[in-house]
Amino acid sequence: MRTACATIRFDKKRILHSCALFMLFVIILIASSAFLLADDETEKSDEERYYELMSLFVDTFEKIEKNYVDEIDRREMVEAAVRGMLRELDPYSNYISRNDIQRFNQTVDQEFGGIGIQVFVDPDTTRLTVMTPIPGTPAYAAGVKAGDTILEIEGKSTDGFQVSDAVELLKGKRGEKVKLKILHNNEADPIDLEIERDVIKLSTVLGMKYNDDATWNFWLNDEEKIAYIRLTHFSRRSSEELQTVLDELVLKGMRGLILDLRSNPGGLLSQATDISDMFIESGRIVSTKGRNTPERVWDARSEGTYKGFPMAVLVNRFSASASEIVAACLQDHDRAVVIGERTWGKGSVQNVFDLEAGNSALKLTTASYHRPSGKNIHRSRNAKTTDDWGVMPNEEYTIDFSNDELRAYLEFRRKLDVIGAVEEEDPFDDTQLNKAMEYVESKLKPEKEKETE
């Protein structure tokens, strides 16, 4: 009797599964029949097209389940299909599985065990690529650079990886090591690195180099009181940290500022709007527009504005997202001159939708950022160089680095970020920074001449 009962229960499961598929096909059949009875020239409705496509998916899934040589895992197959759909959209939309949801829900200001890199899937190569290493982290010390392609993590090929796949392998306990195979930008042969994980703390407001007491030196020209601030990321405390530094510099007589956003991959929108608001008194900061989402706008407030000094913003091909919002805002309001290279063009908004009662989630691009001028920031998959996307430097202020120059700059920058770094005999000639310095000094020159009259 127990055996028979168990058999009946097993058969019920199969019957329920078959019934579910049968009912779906009945619905599709009814919709299809209605269409066939209609006039041949009548266009199919969206609903009819939807059922036809669902029929394709269900039919394929059923045939795989029944006929594939090995037994399959249904969840793995469905999740693979979901990831495949999202991969067709853009590099920033992805599926967060049950295994990843807890890690995903951690806020950016928490400490975690890792090596300290920001990664993305390059839309041109579809390979996992380093957006930027975080200064002061194990990856940075090991020589990982922006633009590096990560070919393998712990012996696993990253071909077809999404960002969440990489994060799962890169994060771990402090002291544990992770093996990477990396191809430096514009080099032929990959290298193997073994990097020890550490607790990662996102310090985002940095200076030109360390002082002897391990504090940051924010003066580029102490005599002329021209300050230099490098923002590496837009984390939860960035605006607070920046305000603290700016208050100190103003008290010490700051007369000009260079804000370096080169290789800054972005971060929190709230921080981008707060930081932009520090430098303009009124007007639009940024807006977002989507196909099925209402327009949202962020406007500046007059309180607490830092003004009365010339300002330059440095950007490059790896400046993205929140970096582009700040650069575009200050450029459109004529508050700063933008110098360097055209930015990355990551001007999209991702919203997170709960799936399976919050046990998994869908991170989906739902809108695009638009600068105060109304122009688009986001670079679509098929965008041309002549299209409006990213942030272009001001006229006559475009200075492109070759791949060799970019590598030399990143290496020079990495060495300066080491506490106690010795100044090199033949330092890198940072023509982008030199141009920014030249601009600020030119704006200060009339003031200096007026003071000497």
Write out the catalytic residue numbers. Answer: 321, 332, 346
Which amino acid is located at 187 in the chain?
A: E
Neighbours of 271 (CB within 10 A): 26
Contact between 435 and 397 under an 8 Å Cβ cutoff? The reply is yes
| Alpha helix ranges (H) inside 38-133 | 46-67, 74-87, 101-104
Nearest to 13 by CA among 99, 78, 74: 74
Nearest to 398 by CA among 372, 438, 435: 435
Distance CA 138, CA 240 (A): 26
Query: Exposed, middle or buried: residue 106 (CB in 10 Å: 0-12, 13-18, 19+)?
Result: exposed
Query: Exposed, middle or buried: residue 307 (CB in 10 Å: 0-12, 13-18, 19+)?
Result: exposed
- Between CA 351 and CA 359, with CA 357 as vertex, the angle to 5 degrees is 80
Radius of gyration of the chain (CA): 27
